[in-house]
A and B are shown apart, each in its own frame.
Chain A
Amino acid sequence: MHARVVFQVILWVLLFTSTLATGQGQVKVYTVNYPLQYFSQRIAGQHADAVFPAPTEGDPAFWQPSVEVISGYQQADLILLNGANYAKWVNRVSLPRRKLVDTSAGFRDRYIRVTVDATHSHGPGGEHSHAGTAFTTWLDFEQAAAQARATADAMTRKWPEWKSDFSRNLEALEADLLELDKQIQMIVAVKPDHPLMASHPVYQYLQRRYGLNLKSMMWEPDEMPDEAQWAALARALGDHPARWMIWEGEPNPQIVKRLQRMGVESVVFDPAGNRLDKGDFLSVMGQNVKHLKRAYQ
């Protein structure tokens, strides 16, 4: 009888301590895009749950979260922002200031200003414009590493007891990002003037960091451009003879065929701003590098 009671007590103690241990790993880090979710989860490891609650359709930069989702952000332990005017919804909601961390604040002076742009629409986010500040900061992998460092710093300030784990994980992540950086530099170095077309104006930081000779259209992968847009492309190709067009996502086969008739091949360079159907940030960026290599061969 006594042995049973002792056994039950030990079982309860074990259960209680394991619950406490699990509870420690349940700190919540909310992010405004997928790259930051990936960075924060890799840096935090088992200590935190990195959450990015946007729907998988549409561009999170133009997403408007519901009140319930905002409430989730309000209760998070840390909220990682991308900066560069990404996720404009942040300016229209109430979030606890002391939990906000702008991960690109360290290179704010190097933001790219986008001056002229027309509005357009795609996905459930409705009509939007890219005028203002270019926001796909992580496509410059050196900047991505800086954002990862800012994430690790914020986490260390918040949870100093896990500093060594954060530092170790950050080191591995930085190495991965800088390897991508090196690979793209090597690809572009072969043909630095090689002309390329981009379907959408989201590659500004990629272009600046790696010196791509790139011109952007305002096309969507799933929407057939109208004749005026085709004519605009033809005119652009006149003084910018690109043989490859970079797409955010897999383009419509009809667009691919028509582009091929114009002598332009299609290749995907997914900015991975939103959660991915398969793979993770690093594997998708690895694919992007391979695709870019094809465009440079």
Chain B
Amino acid sequence: MIDSLYIAWKYVSFYKARTATLVACVTLIAALPLALELVLEESERQLLSRAESTPLLLGARGSALDLVMNSLYFGDEVPELISMRAADDMDASGLATPIPLYVRFQARGFPIVGTTLDYFDFRDLHIAQGRQMALLGECVIGAEVAERLELKPGDTLLSSPETLFDLAGVYPLKMKVAGVLARSYTPDDLAVLLDLKTAWVVQGLVHGHEDVTRTQDDSVIIKRSDNNVIANAKLVEYTEITTENVDSFHFHGAPDDYPLTAVLALPNDERSGTILRGRYLDTAIPYQLVVPGDVIVGLLANIFRIKNVLDAVILMVGVATALALILVFALSLRLRQHEIRTVFRIGGSRLTIFRLLGAEITIIFLVSGLLCGFAMIVVDQYSAELVRRLVIG
């Protein structure tokens, strides 16, 4: 057997191109369904576990999927905005604890999640380094953000402008990293979490600047009266919140009207949850209250429907590849008649020919198996990230 393997090895290593093609075909046809299975399993794990642990989600009427993907997995698609009043109303109902969310901005490619401290308790997030955010302008970053951006408590992180050419937009905010979260293997690992008020500072709704009633620079003033001062765009807003300027930060307009992307609703009990859902059934109300688990189950059903189609395609491609392989080997037998005759002449039997061919096929499948295994390790390693990019977006 060793002799056959040796001769087969010599043969396959001599015809490198042909061997490489065969190995690639076998590897691909084996790896594709396995990789797909791994990615889908990871999608299901990521999507379902988080969705099932979130009882209810309030947002603007529109795509429930966008709402859930943005609020639970911090997807790029920002749903229609609602106002802080929605959270206050829910609080006033006494039926559920609202946790407001504002997931709209990014910092160096990672989503900024504006929320309240209740979110940390709800998701069971713990600080691994540093401390909890305490002051306006501070943030807490996920373990993966800290690792990739090489950030630690005390460092700073700039928010990214919403659009590259937004010349009239607000200045990026230099946020202070107060702490790093312990790894939770959830989308929170990839998030920059900050207080809602700081998220509004990022947007420019809450801002700080020099006291216009006392400024010596008249070029920043358009109009001054006894009880009002109108400043122009030359008035520079602070881009970093420090102990010296924090007192100058102020809200413009009523905080009730400030924007949110969603409100996580934690009902007091099942009955409260049912009553609450009933209140948002009226289509005249501009909000929808969704059960994230139901939305994700619907999404997964679609994904698995697509998977079935893909499986069928892969099966057909697999059958075609197998037939092609048989053809390749059959043709190679014809091409190798000269070699086969030589084997017979030196006393080899028909069995020897089969053993040689079997050894070649074994080597090809063995190498393919190794490559496939390696590919699976790589896919498994990056499946969480792959799911975040491909499925969650």
Contact = CB atoms under 8 A, between A and B. Distances in A.
A98 interface: yes
A41 interface: no
A93 B198 CA distance: 9
27 contacts: A64-B246, A67-B131, A67-B134, A67-B135, A70-B135, A71-B132, A74-B117, A92-B135, A92-B246, A92-B247, A93-B134, A93-B135, A93-B195, A94-B116, A94-B132, A94-B133, A94-B135, A94-B195, A94-B197, A96-B118, A96-B121, A97-B98, A97-B117, A98-B116, A98-B118, A115-B227, A116-B227
A211 to B, nearest CB: 28
Interface string A91-107: 11111111000000000
B218 to A, nearest CB: 21
Interface in B49-103: 97-100
A92 B249 contact: yes
Interface of B is mostly: mixed
Given A67-B131, A67-B134, A71-B131, A92 B197 contact: yes
**Residue among A71, A94, A95, A96 with the highest chain B CB neighbour number at 10 A:** A94
B64 to A, nearest CB: 25
A115 B249 CA distance: 20
B136 interface: yes
B113 to A, nearest CB: 13
Contacts of B121: 96
Contacts of B246: 64, 92
A70 B227 CA distance: 35
Interface residues of B, number: 22
B138 interface: yes
Contacts of A96: 116-118, 121
Interface string A18-37: 00000000000000000000
Interface of A: 64, 67, 70-71, 74, 91-98, 115-116
Nearest to B87: A97
A1 B55 CA distance: 58
Interface in B336-386: none
B6 interface: no
Given A91-B197, A94-B195, A116-B227, A71 B118 contact: no
Contacts of B185: none
B116 A97 contact: yes
A142 B135 CA distance: 35
A70 B116 contact: no
Interface string B117-152: 110010000000001111110100000000000000
B304 interface: no
Nearest to B227: A116
B11 interface: no
A97 B197 CA distance: 12
B118 A94 contact: no
Contacts of A67: 131, 134-135
B258 to A, nearest CB: 12
Nearest to A92: B136
B251 A94 contact: no
Nearest to B249: A92
A74 B134 CA distance: 8
Given A91-B251, A92-B197, A98 B97 contact: yes
A96 B132 CA distance: 11
Nearest to A128: B247
Given A74-B117, A91-B197, A93-B134, 14 more contacts: A70-B134, A71-B131, A71-B134, A92-B135, A92-B247, A93-B195, A94-B117, A94-B134, A94-B138, A95-B117, A97-B98, A97-B116, A97-B118, A98-B116
